[in-house]
Copies of this chain bind each other. A is one copy, B any other.
Amino acid sequence: MANMKITPRDVDFAKWYTDVVMAAHLASYTEVKGCIAIEPNGYAIWEEMQKILDQKFKELGHVNVQMPLLIPENLLKKEADLVEGFAPEVAWVTMGGNKNLEERFCIRPTSETMFSDYFKNHITSYKDLPLLYNQWCNVMRWEKETRPFLRSREFLWQEGHTIHETKEEAEEETKRMMDVYKWFHHDILAIPSITGRKTEKEKFAGADYTLTNEALMYNGVSLQASTSHFFGQRFSKAYDIKYTTRDNKQDYVYQTSWGTTTRMIGALIMVHSDDKGLVLPPNIAPRKVVIIPIGKDEEVLSWCEKINQELNENNIKSFIDQTDKSPGFKFAEAEVLGIPLRIEIGKRDLDNNQITFTRRDTSEKIIKKLEIDIKKEVSELLNTIQQDMYNRALKRRDELTFEAKTIEDVKKIMNTQPGFIKADWCGNPECELKMKEINGLKSRCILEDKMLTGKCVVCGREAKELVVWGIQY
């Protein structure tokens, strides 16, 4: 496994990415074009993501449900923007049990439709509100160009759907969930994202507005990491989700939805990993520590077991690599798999009363006395790794975040090293489209920050907003 050759990142970024996916056995291609098999190492990361987010969602009062996979065409069509936005990229079920169906179904590309229809039938009064629902499921979008994890026809995600009495409460929810994602990306995945509002052109089909977390990959390409949508009453009016208010009138609910996906596994690679393979931040790594005995000395093995036991008893997931492979092979394998910390113990270490730690992120070796408080030492070291990985990613992001005052600035940056480009914008979609002519630049999000010049970077007219631009996966 560790022997697979990984193309260097600086030689061919796209090839490097796929090589890491394959070498770390995160996913593999299947006979279904654009759909991957998520292998045990990849799925274990997703399980960690699910565990952490699910706990947070529940702490905030959300409950899990499961809506049908299929959406009847007539139901999808009720919200005009939604059907326009998604219809060109859905998969259609037209036959069931060898018979042509009277009405075709699409496989959910997202579930606003089914949640809205459910809500409509399940609330009558303000006493039933809010409903704070979430579901973990698969969705399908018939993409033309795909890439493992980052963009595949089928992917796994969670989609939160909530309905509220007031606009204020729904907007608070929209923002609260964006903050949850920000926390998740920053503190757990060590990915420093930029948060803001999408432009009208880039917002979710059917939303009043969309908040987004935008992450920057090592090569300067940006990735939409998670989104939180405020629907206002658009869906509730289209799907007739009415209730009796406190003053005994009929009104439509205010609605939100929010989600993040398995594409974050791809982001972990593209932000943190290197030519030796996967590098995982400790807070998301399913296994934090690998212990590798050097030789078969009984005292060595007993020390390995003692350490392993102590770590696991203190909720630091570790394991001993007791396979027949050589230590060198085990080191390489631990590296390609991205295990944050490696502990080696050999007879000579014992004789010298020492123990060797190796950090995956920096390859730094740290030698400590055998008698240290192992759980404390490892726990601190994992925290340091987590913090350092975040800081390095932040430094990289900042290095690749540019300011452009003129369209020439933009072109120059894009021809040198793409990244996030901050530039003022007049709010006109035509100027947005003109930016796209430069290597496919798209608006990533609108920032609240002060504008650079006050003039639109494209047309020179008065600018309304500071926008982050970038090319995207």
Chain A: residues with CB nearer than 8 A to chain B? Answer: 28, 30-32, 35-40, 43-44, 46-47, 63-72, 75, 87-98, 104-105, 107, 114, 117-118, 121-122, 133, 137-138, 140, 142, 144, 153-154, 156
Contact for A28 among B87, B96, B118, CB less than 8 A: B118
Contact B87 A65 (CB under 8 A): no
Q: How many copies does the complex hold?
A: 2
Contact B70 A154 (CB under 8 A): yes
Docked Cα-Cα span, A66 to B44, in Å, equals 11
**Chain B residues in 8 Å Cβ range of A122:** 28
Docked Cα-Cα span, A88 to B96, in Å, equals 8
Indicate whether A30 sits within 8 Å of B66 (C-beta atoms), given known contacts A87-B98, A95-B92, A97-B90: no
List 6 tightest A-B contacts by C-beta distance, closest first: A97-B142, A35-B68, A92-B95, A40-B63, A96-B142, A38-B66
Indicate whether A69 sits within 8 Å of B117 (C-beta atoms), given known contacts A90-B97, A91-B96, A96-B142: no
**Chain B residues in 8 Å Cβ range of A154:** 68-70
Could you jot down 26 A-B contacts, CB within 8 Å? A28-B121, A30-B118, A31-B72, A32-B68, A32-B72, A37-B114, A37-B118, A40-B63, A40-B64, A43-B64, A69-B69, A69-B140, A88-B98, A90-B96, A90-B97, A91-B95, A91-B96, A92-B93, A92-B94, A92-B95, A93-B107, A96-B142, A97-B142, A97-B144, A107-B107, A138-B138
**Chain B residues in 8 Å Cβ range of A98:** 87-88
Among the interface residues A93, A138, A154, A156, which one has the most CB atoms of the partner chain B within 10 A?
A93
Among the interface residues A31, A35, A122, A142, which one has the most CB atoms of the partner chain B within 10 A?
A31
**Chain B residues in 8 Å Cβ range of A117:** 30-31
Docked Cα-Cα span, A438 to B142, in Å, equals 49
Docked Cα-Cα span, A64 to B41, in Å, equals 9
Q: Name A133's closest neighbour in chain B (CB-CB).
A: B40
**Chain B residues in 8 Å Cβ range of A137:** 138
Closest-CB distance, A222 to chain B (whole angstroms): 25
**Chain B residues in 8 Å Cβ range of A94:** 92-95
**Chain B residues in 8 Å Cβ range of A69:** 35, 69, 107, 138, 140, 154
Q: Name A70's closest neighbour in chain B (CB-CB).
A: B32
Docked Cα-Cα span, A133 to B97, in Å, equals 29
Docked Cα-Cα span, A44 to B67, in Å, equals 14
Contact A88 B97 (CB under 8 A): yes
Closest-CB distance, A205 to chain B (whole angstroms): 15
**Chain B residues in 8 Å Cβ range of A114:** 30-31, 37
Q: Name A74's closest neighbour in chain B (CB-CB).
A: B31
Closest-CB distance, A55 to chain B (whole angstroms): 12
Docked Cα-Cα span, A44 to B30, in Å, equals 33
Docked Cα-Cα span, A217 to B321, in Å, equals 48
Contact B43 A66 (CB under 8 A): yes
Contact B36 A68 (CB under 8 A): yes
Among the interface residues A39, A70, A104, which one has the most CB atoms of the partner chain B within 10 A?
A70
Contact B65 A40 (CB under 8 A): yes
**Chain B residues in 8 Å Cβ range of A36:** 68
**Chain B residues in 8 Å Cβ range of A67:** 30, 37
Among the interface residues A64, A122, A137, which one has the most CB atoms of the partner chain B within 10 A?
A64
